[in-house]
């Protein structure tokens, strides 16, 4: 789709870059950053983790980019100063970073977002932030699988052990009766 004639090449490139980020990211969270200093924005970027990028964008360009990526449900969120957190890594880590930062800095307002094509409300983003990280969940799963494997081995081993004891007892009884 060709951009309108009044968009110069640099704005068309910005739209293409934003649209690509919306398409390739596993999640994106829109925030309002009015009142945050440059130092606070840098602090926020660091708190998001390695798999997230925090990008300030003009609403008209960001809205056009989101629409190009098929995310028209975000249209109502492009009001006021908007920044987008594009998440390529663990969405839980980035959501935690945004939530914790917004608790300390009231100027950061989470507006909503999208994850894997599904729209996220502010409440859903906060619930996502309450989850444990991917690494913690994977380690818990591995521990549960290991425990289940040990329990299964013990259950499967029990009849064999009982049978061996029974055979030994029968052998002892036969020997005692035969003498």
Is 108 in the same domain as 155? Answer: no
Domain count, the chain: 2
**130 is written with which tokens?**
């309450």
At 21-70, the pLDDT tens digits run 999 999 999 999 999 999 999 999 988 888 899 999 999 999 999 999 99
Confidence of residue 155 (pLDDT cuts 50, 70, 90): low
Is 78 in the same domain as 28? Answer: yes
- Residues contacting residue 170 through CB under 8 Å, at least 6 positions apart: none
Give the chain's count of helices (H) and strands (E).
Answer: 6, 5
Q: What would the mean pLDDT of 145-172 be, rounded to a whole number?
A: 71
pLDDT of res. 159: 73
Confidence of residue 117 (pLDDT cuts 50, 70, 90): confident
Is 115 in the same domain as 40? Answer: yes
DSSP-derived secondary structure letter, 75: G
Q: Quick check: 17 pLDDT over 80?
A: yes
* 8 Å CB contact between 44 and 101: yes
**163 is written with which tokens?**
């049978």
* 8 Å CB contact between 32 and 81: yes
pLDDT of res. 23: 93
Q: What is the dihedral of CA 71, 53, 35, 126, to 10 degrees?
A: 70
Q: Is residue 3 part of a domain?
A: no
The C-alpha angle 12, 18, 19, rounded to 5 degrees, equals 85
Nearest residue to 85 (alpha-carbon basis) of 68, 72, 97: 97
Q: Is residue 19 part of a domain?
A: yes
Q: Quick check: 141 pLDDT over 90?
A: no
Q: Quick check: 71 pLDDT over 90?
A: yes
Is 89 in the same domain as 42? Answer: yes
Helix (H, G, I), strand (E, B) or coil at 56: strand
Q: Is residue 94 part of a domain?
A: yes
Helix (H, G, I), strand (E, B) or coil at 91: helix
Q: What percent of the chain has pLDDT over 70?
A: 84
Q: Is residue 4 part of a domain?
A: no
Confidence of residue 134 (pLDDT cuts 50, 70, 90): low
Q: Quick check: 4 pLDDT over 70?
A: no
Nearest residue to 97 (alpha-carbon basis) of 30, 46, 62: 46
- CATH label of the domain that carries residue 94: 3.30.70.1730
Q: In which domain, by residue range, is 108 found?
A: 9-131
| Strand (E) or helix (H) holding 124 | helix 122-130
């Amino acid at each position: 789709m060709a951009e309108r004639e009044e968009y110069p090449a640099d704005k068309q490139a910005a739209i293409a870059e934003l649209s690509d980020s919306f398409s390739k990211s596993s999640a994106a969270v829109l925030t309002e950053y009015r009142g945050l200093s440059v130092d606070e924005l840098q602090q926020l970027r660091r708190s998001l983790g390695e798999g997230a990028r925090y990008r300030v964008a003009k609403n008209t360009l960001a809205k056009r980019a989101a629409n190009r990526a098929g995310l028209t449900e975000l249209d109502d969120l492009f009001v006021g100063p908007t920044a987008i957190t594009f998440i390529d890594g663990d969405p839980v880590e980035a959501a935690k970073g945004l939530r914790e930062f917004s608790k300390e800095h009231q100027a950061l307002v989470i507006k909503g977002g999208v994850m894997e094509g599904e729209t996220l409300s502010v409440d859903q983003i906060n619930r996502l932030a309450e989850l444990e990280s991917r690494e913690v969940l994977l380690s818990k799963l591995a521990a549960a699988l290991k425990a289940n494997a040990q329990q299964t081995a013990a259950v499967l081993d029990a009849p064999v052990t009982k049978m061996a004891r029974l055979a030994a007892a029968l052998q002892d009884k036969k020997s005692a009766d035969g003498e």
